[in-house]
Amino acid sequence: MQEKQFVVTQRCSEGKMTGAVRREQAEFSMDYVNLPEPPVTTAAGGGDEGNHPAPGTKLLRLVGVSFGLLCLLQAAVNVSLRLTLFKSDGQTSPTGPACCNETDKQRQLIERYIQQGWVRFRSSVYYISDARNTWQQSRRYCLRQGADLVIINTKEEQDFTRQFHRFTWLGLYYESKTKKWIWVDRTPLNESFSFWGPGEPNGFEGKIENCVEIRFFEMDNSWNDIPCGDQNYWICEKEVAP
């Protein structure tokens, strides 16, 4: 009987403790569930309304970003157009870039020649005639313009002179006294840098061919020697920049 009574008493005690624990858990759960939410404030001291964007705010932001990108694009286009206009205003030719560090006097000189129909390439301007004349008369025309018959100094210049597809005089001639090919500035021709056509120069059929023309303009090596009294188109060259 005492054991039974002890068991009953123990179970009652356990029941009371279990009940107490459950009540505490219930109270704890109720307290956790029913805790009031902390107030939401904004940086400006506002309430809960500041946590949600007003209707249309995202759209306005998107419009603002798009407008900014359009402004940047317009600025880039304006810069590109200014560069294009600068290049087309006599500063470069379709065939080559202009030189740098030009003075106002040089730019005015270049513009004056271009207005008269000359073409800019690198550091010179060129006049390509629309009439034909002898080598001597062609050179006299160039000299009256403050220029001279063209002198080929680079491979690029050689290619430039071939593009007009005309038989044109060069500023190169044979000097009987020195028995050398001489440019009009008295510089001897460098034979390692020349563009004679196949088999040229040759004094064809025993003729005295002491002047040089561009004849084979479809080829890199386009030069041909012919009599100076023949008539050809010509190219004048005026150096306008260092």
Tokens 């005309």 — which residue? Answer: 166
Among residues 236, 218, 242, which one has the least CA distance to residue 119? Answer: 236
Say if residues 162 and 95 touch (Cβ distance below 8 Å).
Answer: no
pLDDT tier for residue 103 given thresholds of 50, 70 and 90 = confident
Among residues 131, 117, 178, 124, which one has the least CA distance to residue 151? Answer: 124
Domains contained in the chain, CATH given: 104-239 (3.10.100.10)
Does residue 32 register a pLDDT over 80? no
Q: Specify whether the backbone of 235 is left (phi greater than 0), alpha (psi in -120 to 50) or beta.
A: beta
List the structure tokens of 69: 């990108």
Residues 6+ apart with CB under 8 A from 102: 110, 241
pLDDT at position 57: 64
Record the pTM: 0.58
In this structure, of 26-30, 52-56, 190-194, 219-223, the range with the lowest mean pLDDT score is: 26-30
List the structure tokens of 110: 């270049």
pLDDT at position 212: 98
User: How do residues 11-30 score in pLDDT, each as one tens digit?
Assistant: 444 444 444 444 444 444 43
Whole-number Å distance between alpha carbons of 146 and 141: 9
pLDDT tier for residue 100 given thresholds of 50, 70 and 90 = low
Overall average pLDDT of the 48-66 stretch: 59
pLDDT at position 124: 95
Whole-number Å distance between alpha carbons of 129 and 61: 63
pLDDT at position 13: 46
Among residues 203, 211, 130, which one has the least CA distance to residue 164? Answer: 130
pLDDT tier for residue 106 given thresholds of 50, 70 and 90 = confident
Whole-number Å distance between alpha carbons of 115 and 156: 24
Whether omega before 97 lies within 30 degrees of 0, making that bond cis, reads: no
pLDDT at position 9: 42
R_g over Cα of the chain: 47
pLDDT at position 203: 83
Beta strands in the chain (DSSP E): 119-121, 124-128, 148-149, 168-175, 180-183, 211-214, 223-226, 233-239
Average pLDDT, the chain: 75
pLDDT tier for residue 190 given thresholds of 50, 70 and 90 = very high
Does residue 232 register a pLDDT over 60? yes
Q: How far is CA 186 from the centre of its chain?
A: 39
DSSP conformation letters of 204-216: GGG----EEEE--
Whole-number Å distance between alpha carbons of 33 and 52: 25
pLDDT tier for residue 71 given thresholds of 50, 70 and 90 = low
The better pLDDT of the pair 17, 54 is held by 54
Alpha helix ranges (H) inside 148-199: 155-162
pLDDT at position 241: 79
Tallying the residues shown for the chain, one arrives at 242
Does residue 136 register a pLDDT over 50? yes
The better pLDDT of the pair 148, 10 is held by 148
